[in-house]
Chain A
Amino acid sequence: MTSLPATRRINRRSTEVSERAFGLGFASPALLVTLALLAYPLVYSLWVSLHQVTLGSDKWKFVGLDNYTGILRDPLFWPSLQRTLSFALIVTVFTTIVGLAVALLLTEDFRGRALFRAVLILPWSLSQTMLALTFGWIFNSTFGPLNGLLLDLGFISNYVAWFASGESVLYIIAMGLVWSLVPFAAMLFLGALQTVPEELERAARVDGAGPVRRFLLVKLPWIRETVLIVVIIAALNGFLTFSPIYILTGGGPGTETYLLSWWGYRTGFIDLDLGRSAAIFYVMTLLIAVLATLTVTALGRRREQ
């Protein structure tokens, strides 16, 4: 009889071990795939970034951090970095604000809401390639429908060359990207807003809070995690924007629309300098990691408070 608790302990322990092994068994395929598809390329590209290596060449020369110091000294680096950060910031801020606004609108009851919800999803279904082509057509300075419309309405007297400067091109691309990301953001926000307990809102209303205060003090704190997800997704999309540059500008005029992603592509696949290209993309990866960590930490801290 005295040995019964010990037996139970042993049994519990062996059950725990077998459960752990069972769980590991289930998770291992996914873990292996993750290791193969994520960890290996990450480590390999880090290794590449420490070498002078040309695409197609078997000659690898270890250069340590030379590729990193090289890109920091390159006159293209700081302008490209600044542009990338500004671009990502614009995309993130507008995607979040507009997405939230659309979600709030969709929580209201109005005629045609179902249709609006269905139509809203369309921009999200477009690839960045199609998005770039579509916006390229709309803003075409000679034959674009936007110029025709504005001229007909009397807002302009001459066609506007929307793509004349790098700055204006990047604003247009950012606008396109926001347009395509807003539906996804709105859907996430809508889902989150629907989980806000009615009692909370009712209590705030009883306390005399108006719609703005109810949003700021009740809804927004409740959906903070969703905001975090949207911010990170939008920022990632902003940082990794490539297709619109590839299709619309090729980095031009001059180098005025060079984002880090385009610079990395050009260095790797046109200049064939794989080591330097890998270093550029590693710098991007580090930046994204730092920004994501800061965002998660900041929002997490506010939640603790």
Chain B
Amino acid sequence: MDKRKQFQDLTDGYMEGRLSRRRFLQASGLLGLAGVASAIVAACSSTASPTAAPASAAPATAAPASAAAGPDFAAMAKKLGRPLRLHHDSAVGPLYEPYIKDFNAKYAPLQVETSYTTGDYHAITQTQLAGGSVDFDVLFADDGFAQKWFNAGWIRSLDDVEGVKDVLADLNPGIEKNCRTADGKLITLPYYRGIEVFIYNKEHLDKIGAAVPKTWDEFLDTCRQLKAKKVVDTPYSPFWCLQFQVIWTELIAESYSDGSGEFFDEKMKPIFKDDPVVISTLQRWNTMYKEGLIPQDVFTTDYGNIANIFAGAKSSFTIRYGPQLKQFTDPAQSKSASGAKNAPMPGKTGATLDRGAWWMMSSSTPDPQIAWQLMRYFAWKDKDGKPFFQKQLLAIDLGLQTAFASINNDPEVKAAWAKWCDADGLVAQIKNSRSGGQEVLADWYGEFQVKASELLQEAVRGTKPIQQALDEAAAFVTSKTGG
């Protein structure tokens, strides 16, 4: 999810470009405190958040479950004997608070409390799960962890959960296969979907009288002009960081846009290494690095500070998903707000990558049918059949897509998007998007993304030949899959 927002709230001052000494000290102090808090929270691992309302504090307006048709929440609460626990990274804390309260009101006396981690969510969560003393009921993960966690016995299959078929029936076509293991077990439900969007600063392009590039050659040429005419020093601020392995995501998105094939075949064999489009994409990246068209330290810059480069009007192009564009168009958070626009991805097909994260149910949950109440609320609809979380937070507030066409096509959602972007353009880009195959579920995929991201950085910086880097990335997959 959007870990960056909290971080960027702290960094508003940086968007001003120059800092006062006082402001710098304030920011440093805050960050230091955040760091210390991070260390403490990491050490304490799954400390339950006090945000959850105690059962006794449930609003009086909540209808007694026994009076309504459907699950008996009082019996569930009694059987569980504790609140349900939702595990997530702490960046979503303020964003989730209204929904935690909403759940606690609607499902009273069944309650939920949060278990948040700061820092490297996946590494910390894996360690917690391996330790075996966790009591999460529902948790999430990005691509590449579900199968591994399922194999380790940390998450359970959802096939026996009553009501899950209703969610599957509502999913967009093609997504269900990515929720299942190779042998067909359902182990995840979609959390959100997000497409990589081409974002540009119109005011910068106007200064040199350039149109929005439609091909990658035009893009390169426009970048050179922007630098030569001193509009910006680094026209492109790509998210080529190791953090969250976004560089790998960006490679897929840019390659798709220029007509590359799939990166893995149906048997999960890596076929990207011989794809001429993948190679030409990396060659372009290498050229841009050598010509100083991108910040030279982008490889070690954290996600939030890369976002700050575009938001601080220090670059003219970037590629990232909806929540980022929404932030760029917010004058309170971005100096580029008046110029930030979305456009179709350059390239022969103009396609982009559609990716997302996944909800899972912990194996340690005492009663899957009780945990399902929570999972259903966050993955689909609440008990009244309304997709409050999915529609209000993910689609409307954050500008993400969901796995449900009914939400993505909702006029209210589109109207919300239109406030900060070219909504028709965004919808068209969503239609022209592709998602990865079943490799995203494989137990080696998370590890592979880390390895591949390092190799890509070496290839772009020219410390390793492009073909060698791709061969090594493919060899890593082969070493894990045994052929």
Contact = CB atoms under 8 A, between A and B. Distances in A.
Nearest to A250: B242
Contacts of B463: 254, 256
A264 to B, nearest CB: 13
B461 A253 contact: yes
Contact of A130 (B18, B31, B123, B464): B31
Interface in B85-132: 120, 122-123, 126-127, 129-130
A252 B295 contact: no
Contacts of B450: 266, 270-271
Interface in A133-187: 133-134, 136-137, 140-143, 145, 148, 158-159, 161-164, 169
Given A141-B295, A142-B295, A251 B127 contact: no
B161 interface: no
A56 interface: yes
Contact of A163 (B130, B297, B454): B297
Interface stretch (B207-215, B299-307, B319-327, B434-442): B299-307
A127 interface: yes
B152 A252 contact: no
B39 to A, nearest CB: 6
Range of interface residues on chain A?
Answer: 35 or more
Contacts of B447: 270-272
B331 interface: no
B308 A143 contact: yes
A247 B34 CA distance: 12
Contact of B305 (A57, A140, A271): A140
Contacts of B38: 129
Contacts of B309: 142
B201 to A, nearest CB: 15
Interface in A246-283: 246-257, 266, 269-272
Nearest to A257: B300
B365 interface: no
Nearest to A54: B152
Which one of B19, B241, B300, B309 has the greatest number of beta carbons of chain A within 10 Å? B300
Given A55-B127, A143-B19, A254-B454, A249 B27 contact: no
B312 A142 contact: yes
A137 B7 CA distance: 13
Contact of A56 (B32, B123, B126): B126
B314 interface: yes
Given A251-B242, A255-B454, A266-B450, A133 B35 contact: yes
Contacts of A97: none
Given A143-B308, A254-B464, A130 B32 contact: yes
A145 to B, nearest CB: 6
Given A137-B24, A254-B455, A271-B447, A248 B130 contact: no
Interface string B26-52: 011001101110110000000000000
A251 B120 CA distance: 14
A245 B464 CA distance: 22
A269 B300 contact: no
Contact of B32 (A133, A140, A254, A270): A133
B136 to A, nearest CB: 14
B272 interface: no
B90 to A, nearest CB: 15
Contacts of B192: none
B397 interface: no
A117 to B, nearest CB: 22
Interface string A77-110: 0000000000000000000000000000000000
B17 interface: yes
Contact of B35 (A127, A162, A256, A269): A127
Contacts of A65: none
Contacts of B130: 55-56, 272
A269 B123 contact: yes
B142 interface: no
A126 interface: yes
A252 B242 contact: yes
Given A133-B28, A145-B24, A249-B300, 5 more contacts: A127-B39, A142-B305, A246-B120, A253-B458, A270-B122
10 contacts: A130-B31, A130-B35, A133-B34, A142-B314, A143-B305, A145-B19, A161-B296, A252-B242, A254-B463, A270-B447
Which 6 A-B pairs have CB atoms at the shortest separation, nearest pair first?
A: A253-B299, A130-B32, A129-B35, A56-B130, A161-B296, A254-B458
